Amino acid sequence: MNIIAVETITDVTPPVAYDYLINEGFTTIVDKEVGYDGKVYSDIQQATALGGLTHGVTKLEITAAYAGIANMGEYIPPVFYDRVYDHDGNLVIDNRDPSERSHRMCKKTTAWQLIDAMKDVVTSGTGTRAKMQSGIKCAGKTGTTSNSYDLWFCGMTPYYTASVWFGYDSNITVNTNNHKDMWRDIMDAIAQKEGHSPDKDWDQPDGLEKTTVCKMTGLLPTSGCPTCTDWCDKDHVPKKRCKGHTNSIRICNESHMKATNTCPDTTEYPITYDDQGNMTILGAPFEYDQNIFTTPCPIHPEAEGGLGIEAWADTGGVISNVPEFQEGDDVTFYITANPGYVISDVKVDGNSVGPVSQYTFKAVRGPHTIYAYFTATGEGGNPPPDPNTEAPTEAPTEAPTEAPTEAPPPDGGGGDGG
């Protein structure tokens, strides 16, 4: 999605992105230029993330930049010959040693992560037609400008990097996917001729750590988070914890705070999350801050004996969100361990029910709690962390092993940034 590229260049700032492009060998971009119309043009801008450039780029230079990624972050300026001799047979230019002209354009870990992401482009993304029929591992990126005036596929194998561009000197719409087919067919022919092995892959560098995060925010997961497990640079493993996810919130129409079970007039609003885990109430006709999600209505206090169920899960897995239910309903929760973890215990209202994968509260007529614990070592589960303490990424914080029975579980800690 283009918005991801724009958010990224905004986060790192356009000047930093521009410096990276210079370091990646692009010579056609400009920091400031006065055009024939007297206007000042610059590629230090957000549109650069989408290819909105003053002069564009050449196919040679963009291929060299992708080759720098394929070379695990080592940029080597392209040349068209390796040696030049004079008429007497003396060697006057020697380009055979690329280390003499190469430099590092990004970390090895960054390059490997980019390659790993771009493998998905050809296996399940916009570039599936470029997937090599020879079985050679490949990665790449498609590119399409407005009105399909330019069609790109820049791709790489562990052996070679190549780019294909379709377009005209003037802006004419090109309706085809043949640029991906062309890249595939050329690279397959080279692989067959040179005997490339389908087993060859990019070596994973040191400095990466497999981490399970919340899919929605990229932070450490908590109860109800949809999760995924991927490789992170060990220096950038998330340390903040996601605040958890609910799909909606019921608001008291009088106080404009989180409704209690005694609020007479309420409205249910959908919730979205930003990449820092902060929630936004969609369609709210009033101003609010993040306290609205945790502060109950002060006008209508919660009646004792309410139907609330508090669900909490350790960082090794997830527990399903509290569903909508009425008094007397059966309410079922599902517990799932993340890869590499097992369920070590589930405690209901402070009492252990064992390492169950689901639990049903029968005919609910009062408040309950359900806590899920996980372990990767076979030892006992860990208690909920102190909500005022940032959870560590290496080891659990020492705390009593017995879950609290009076106080509600934590919301997963602070965490308003990653």
Per-residue pLDDT tens digits for 133-186: 999 999 999 998 888 999 999 999 999 999 999 999 889 999 888 999 999 999
Which residue, 162, 194, 226, sits at the end of a domain?
A: 194
Which residues are 208's β-sheet partners?
A: 233
- Return d(Cα 232, Cα 211) in angstroms, integer: 6
Structurally, the chain folds into a number of domains equal to 2
> Is residue 366 a part of any domain in this protein?
yes
Quick one: 314 and 187 in the same domain?
no
Domain end position, chosen among 194, 228, 243: 194
197-206, 374-383, 389-398: range with lowest mean pLDDT: 389-398
Does residue 384 lie in a domain region?
A: yes
Q: How many CA atoms lie within 13 A of 190 on its CB side?
A: 15
Domain containing 363 equals 305-418
Which residues are bridge partners to 163 per DSSP? 154
CA atoms within 13 A on the CB side of 205: 19
pLDDT at 70: 98
Name the residue type at position 23: N
User: How confident is the model over 267-318, as pLDDT tens digits?
Assistant: 988 887 776 667 888 889 999 998 888 788 999 887 655 567 888 888 788 8
pLDDT at res. 263 = 86
Radius of gyration, alpha carbons of the chain: 28
How far, in Å, CA of 354 to CA of 377, rounded? 17
Give me the residue label for tokens 């993340």.
338
Residue 165: CB atoms within 10 Å: 15
Residues 64 and 186 in one domain: yes
- Sole residue written with tokens 């650069």: 48
Question: Global pTM?
Answer: 0.61
Inter-residue contact 229 to 318 (CB < 8 Å) = no
| Any domain includes 149 | yes
Residue 31 lies in a domain: no
Average pLDDT, the chain: 84
Q: Which of 61-65, 116-120, 360-364, 381-385 has the lowest mean pLDDT?
A: 381-385
Residue 230 lies in a domain: no
373: tokens are: 């614990």
> Percent of the chain beyond pLDDT 70?
87
Residue where a domain stops, chosen among 194, 214, 237: 194
What's the pLDDT at 306?
58
- Measure Cα distances from 321 to 220, 230, 328, 332, 333 in Å: 17, 24, 19, 10, 8
In a domain, 114, yes or no: yes
- Tokens representing 224? 């109800």
What is d(CA 267, CA 348) in angstroms, rounded to the nearest whole number?
31
Residue 163 lies in a domain: yes
Backbone angles phi, psi at 40, to 5 degrees: -95, 130
Query: Rounded to whole angstroms, how far apart are CA atoms 332 and 356?
Result: 12
pLDDT at 300: 87
Is 265 part of any domain?
Answer: no
